[in-house]
Amino acid sequence: MGFGCNSAGVTGCRIIDSPREKLISILTNSFVPCNGRFPFLITIASIFVGGLFASRNSSIIATIVVLLVVLLGIFMTILISKLLSKTILKGIPTSFILELPPYRKPQIGKVLVRSIFDRTLFVLGRAIVVAIPAGLVIWLFANINIGNVSILTYIANFFDPFARLMGLDGYILTAFILGIPANEIVLPIILMSYMGSGSLVDLENTFSIGQILIQNGWTLLTAINVMIFTLLHFPCTTTLLTIKKEAGSWKWVGLAFLLPTVCGIVLCMVTTGVWNLAT
């Protein structure tokens, strides 16, 4: 379920009887890309990897690259799950039995009502509570200037030295941080920063996006690290709030935040180091 929405994936862990294994599943759910991250991955793969090949093969190559990113996420899920089960969440493995309920005629009206009011509106409500203040903060950062330089640029310049170690730049890392309410806004924030716009930019033309990114110093290494960090970084705020509700403690929320983020930072640094040595 996490491939659709990590928040829904966390909620789906309720069916696991073992508290230990339920926690492991919750903590590793965000290691797979949700629908909010797939468009970004596809766009970057199409521009910087698919663009290296003939047009007739570019879409196939880009698809393979995105598939490899997904497989990396699955591998990291298994690896971190094993690590957790051997350290802070030790225990005896249990068998998982999913008992099928008796077949009954579906009650369409009841299913729709429960789905909309008990689940959909609940998740959307959390998203709205977070998204509106976050949108205001992003707008203020982009439009308030101190000495003819926006607050957004000051923040990006602050993070830039660390971001360079990851093969990124300050604007990219800032976009990921400000994009915590929803992964869908990371690319618009990056484009807004590069274009000096005072509002989020959403371009549908892949070629135009590629031109803006390349003009601002993106290379194949940048694209690879962006895809890695898109896969491995902190969950969105809605997922973090759902983890708090399901796990019942902020310490698990903090661990769910740190686990993918630390993995992403380390992997990006390793990739950058190997690339620099090879070139």
pLDDT digits (tens, 9 = 90+) for 132-142: 677 788 888 88
pTM for this predicted structure:
0.85
Task: Round the CA-based radius of gyration of the chain to a whole number and report it.
Answer: 20
pLDDT digits (tens, 9 = 90+) for 176-234: 999 888 888 898 889 888 988 777 766 777 888 899 999 999 999 999 999 999 999 99
- Joined together, the tokens standing for residue 216 give 């601002």
Looking at the chain, the whole-number percentage of residues with pLDDT higher than 90 is 46
Ranges of H-type helices in the chain = 6-12, 19-28, 38-48, 55-86, 108-113, 121-143, 151-165, 170-178, 186-195, 206-215, 220-231, 237-247, 250-278
Asked if residue 221 lies in contact with residue 248, where contact means CB atoms within 8 angstroms, the answer is no
Asked if residue 180 lies in contact with residue 236, where contact means CB atoms within 8 angstroms, the answer is yes
Other Cβ atoms less than 10 A from the Cβ of 27: the count is 27
**Which one of 48-57, 120-129, 223-232 scores highest in mean pLDDT?**
223-232
- Joined together, the tokens standing for residue 181 give 């309410």
